[in-house]
Amino acid sequence: MATTTATLEPSGPVSGAPATGRSVFRSSPALRMIGRRLLLAVPVVWGTTLLTFCLMNLLPGTAASALLGDSATPQEVALLNHKLGLDQPFVTRYFDWLGHALQGDLGTSLASGQSVTGLVFQRLEVSAELIVLAFLIALAAAVLVATLAARRPGGVADWVSVTLSTVGLSVPPFVISLVLVLVFAVNLKLVPPLGYVHLGTNVGWNLRTLILPACSLALGIFAVLNRLLRADLIDQLRTEDYVTTARAKGASPWRVLLRHALRNSMFGLLTVAGMQIGVLLGTTVVVEQIFSVPGVGQQLMSAIQNEDVPVVEGIVLVIAAITVLANLIADVLYAVLDPRIRHDSASS
């Protein structure tokens, strides 16, 4: 009589067997979150470039008429339009630019003939320095002021905190810039009102030329972060059980505030702070014009005036990518610092 032997296939992964890339990705909530964010970033960045191209196309005139001036004849404008390819249909021009951008080529400036990639990243170095300085000023000031305000709600420090936040949220950056120039540059003569000195030339003068524009950028971000942190600290000190436990163990008020409440409040602050990078990038367009800082914002304004579409598109693409990346980093840091986020992601 013949016998048959049944072979049982394992229903799950064998212990000790190497996991495939797909199973690793599935087992990591952080990787899944990053994947979802990156998938969402693609239509966001693409939509931003398309909207910018549409808006530039709606402007009266063309780059050729802006470059040649009012004295140019229609024949000269038409000839330059043909030379620059501006007489092509809108769809053709956009997808031609998009195809080159996907290959890392942001095109050539219609005004100067230079590579857009080189122009953008040369100016981006200056803007990055300004934004980092403004971000550090806003974050440090927000943590200091909000902590002092939460220590005694309704006190002098709390009143100062609320007043500064109200001013930062209410007054536009260009007004703040003009006030700072009038007070610290014109009246007190502590810093130069305009201009920029490269960091490699002189560190001291570099900081002197950037401190006013950085403070102009920082006040609005400080207002957002300060209000968030102050409210969260006060709420934790009043309602959280671990605060009551720490007080019952004899911890000093400052230790409870700094060691426990502030530490937990930093989680939410990180996420909101990451979202403010995009706001800083947008505000630099105005502030750099006022203080004559040769950054990407000043270059963007110049390109819009000259209807230099490749430069405008290149700058918008870089700004959108940086904003999306900053938000992604903030989300990842939040998940790493707070285990509850990872646990909730794994459960879902």
Domain that holds residue 207: 116-305
In-domain check, residue 311: no
What CATH number is attached to the domain comprising 274?
Answer: 1.10.3720.10
Residues ≥6 apart with Cβ < 8 Å to 162: 149
The model's pLDDT over 244-267, given as tens digits with 9 standing for 90+, comes to 888 888 888 888 888 878 888 887
pLDDT for res 20: 46
In-domain check, residue 206: yes
| Residue matched to tokens 């006013």 | 212
pLDDT for res 11: 44
| Residue matched to tokens 């810093």 | 191
Q: Does residue 316 register a pLDDT over 80? A: yes
Mean pLDDT check: name the lowest of 102-116, 152-166, 231-245, 333-347.
333-347
Q: Does residue 23 register a pLDDT over 70? A: no
Span 218-228, average pLDDT: 92
pLDDT for res 346: 45
In-domain check, residue 53: no
| Residue matched to tokens 């367009």 | 285
In-domain check, residue 341: no
What is the distance, to the nearest Å, from the Cα of residue 137 to the centroid of all Cα atoms in its chain?
15
Q: Does residue 24 register a pLDDT over 60? A: no
Q: Does residue 14 register a pLDDT over 50? A: no
pLDDT for res 246: 84
115 DSSP β-pair partners: 108
In-domain check, residue 139: yes
Quote the CA–CA distance of 236 and 261 in Å, as a whole number. 6
Provide Rg for the chain, Cα atoms: 27
Residues 205 and 197: beta-carbon distance below 8 Å: yes
pLDDT for res 65: 78
In-domain check, residue 162: yes
What is the distance, to the nearest Å, from the Cα of residue 122 to the centroid of all Cα atoms in its chain?
18
The model's pLDDT over 127-179, given as tens digits with 9 standing for 90+, comes to 999 999 999 999 999 999 999 999 888 899 999 999 999 999 999 888 999 99
Domains in the chain, number: 1
pLDDT top residue among 342 and 128: 128
Does this model's pTM top 0.85? My answer is: no
pLDDT top residue among 336 and 182: 182
In-domain check, residue 315: no
Quote the CA–CA distance of 197 and 209 in Å, as a whole number. 7
In-domain check, residue 317: no
Q: Does residue 342 register a pLDDT over 60? A: no
Predicted confidence band at 75 (pLDDT cuts at 50, 70, 90)? confident
Helix (H, G, I), strand (E, B) or coil at 108: strand
pLDDT for res 138: 93
Separation in Å, CA 243 to CA 230, 240, 249, 256 = 16, 6, 10, 7
108 DSSP β-pair partners: 115
